[in-house]
Amino acid sequence: MYINRQMTLISEKTILTVSRLTALLRDVLEENFMHVWVEGEVSNVSFPSSGHIYFTLKDNGASLRCVMFRGSGKNLRFRPEDGMALIARGRISVYDQRGDYQLLCDYIEPAGTGALQTAFIQLKNRLAKEGLFEADRKRKIPPYPQRVGIVTSPTGAAIQDILNVLKRRFASLDVIIYPVRVQGDGAAEEIAAALDEMNRMRLADVLIVARGGGSIEDLWAFNEEVVARAIYRSRIPVISAVGHETDWSISDFAADLRAPTPSAAAEMVVASTDEQRSRIEGLSHRLRLAVEKHISGLEAKLSSLKRVMQDPSRMMKQLSQRVDDLSERLDNAIKNSLSGRRERFARVETSLIHLSPVARITFLGHRINQLSGQMERTLIQKIDMMKQNCYASAAQLEVLSPLATLSRGYVLARKQDSCETITRLAGLSPGERVKLSFLDGDADCLVESVELKDEKTSWQNLPERNRKKLPEY
């Protein structure tokens, strides 16, 4: 055996690396445990983005790491959960990086129940939490549909059963068949697409999703989430008729009405001609009895009125006298009303004459003319006063204007570089340039000498700060 060969290698006291020893152990395990079945409780389950499934199987005495790679787990119909009892099939191997042995699973199923049953329960619970099965959102099946849509296989027994029942109960009913596959890969997607298309085109008043009996694997297309959601979003009421009476599918819970068989679905859609005729006869009988009862009541009331009714001629005389009396009272009331209104009109007319607006308007016109004259005179006086004030201010400005001073022969002196006004001669030095402003213009000048008012100062007697060399021309 392979184990004996490995033991011989180890007994020779050969020194092995960790990788070599791990590889030898992996070879031993993989060769001797290629197909094993293991049962245990699931823990530490994880679903990374790689698509692999990692979990641990354990019992009271030990635990075993397990992995199901994406290729084996893509067709898994249920989702492993912590605490679930599981049966796994696979081969034992060693994960070199940790030195752990693990079970490489190629198949798993819940212990005690099948994988499909577990998947059914998980999906049913999840969709129920989302509200897809709530009774208050289910719609009523129309009692007299004009067109029925059937989503099923065109070659199965279910369609024949439905058509036979519809023909027997209501032969003139319009039926639209949307052919789909009802089992196998892709069947669920076809059923969902058919429901969406029938809704998009509003092809029917009620839809029947049907299939004959079979195993849970055969009926599994109607347990897919895509079918349940298509039924949920359908705007047309949906009847689910899948399998036999004891078969329950996710579509049964999502549909607006569940039929135990396809034939029963056809019976639920329309009532038979005999049933309709019987119902019409019953309604006609009830209507006839109601009309007869109503007529009898009217006849009894008429008889009672006849007994209490007086002689018409005497009533006419009394009414005629009553009319004459009321006519006389009406004439008197009209005359009194007109007389009172005439008197009130006369009083109002007299009041209006005294309160005539003509006199008021004439008085107000005179008053307006008077006020207009006063306002005009006041404005003229105000304007004259303002003119006098303006003339006086102009005269004062003329007296204070520097131009008047310049017109009398005076000159305004300013430094040429800074335009500073020169008020004292002490601020000038020979050689400086000044600007002299006359009445009719300006002149640039050069200071050759400075002579103060109280004493004559020559160039030599000037302070040092005022001595500047005159430019040579």
Average pLDDT, the chain: 81
The residue length of the chain stands at 473
Asked if residues 183 and 221 have their Cβ atoms less than 8 Å apart, the reply is: yes
How does pLDDT run across 404-462, given as a tens digit for each residue? 777 777 887 888 777 777 777 777 788 888 888 887 888 888 888 887 765 444 444 55
What value does the mean pLDDT take over residues 275-279?
A: 70
Taking Cα atoms as reference points, which of 86, 91, 89 lies closest to residue 31?
91
Q: What percent of the chain has pLDDT over 90?
A: 10
Distance CA 55, CA 85 (A): 12
Asked whether this chain's domains 2-119 and 138-275 adopt the same fold, the reply is: no
Q: What is the pLDDT of residue 209?
A: 92
Give the pTM.
0.43
Sketch the domain layout of the chain as residue ranges.
2-119, 138-275, 378-405, 411-466
Distance CA 256, CA 134 (A): 10
Distance CA 444, CA 419 (A): 12
Confidence of residue 192 (pLDDT cuts 50, 70, 90): very high
- The CATH fold of domain 138-275: Rossmann fold (3.40.50)
Q: What is the pLDDT of residue 191?
A: 92
Q: What is the pLDDT of residue 32?
A: 77
CATH 3.10.440.10 fits 2-119, yes or no: no
Asked if residues 248 and 240 have their Cβ atoms less than 8 Å apart, the reply is: no
**H helices of 355-414, where?**
357-400, 402-407
**116 or 198, which is more confident?**
198
How does pLDDT run across 220-256, given as a tens digit for each residue? 888 888 999 999 999 999 999 888 877 788 888 889 9
How does pLDDT run across 1-23, given as a tens digit for each residue? 455 555 555 555 677 777 777 77
Report phi then psi at 458, rounded to 5. -90, 180
Taking Cα atoms as reference points, which of 206, 222, 230 lies closest to residue 124?
222
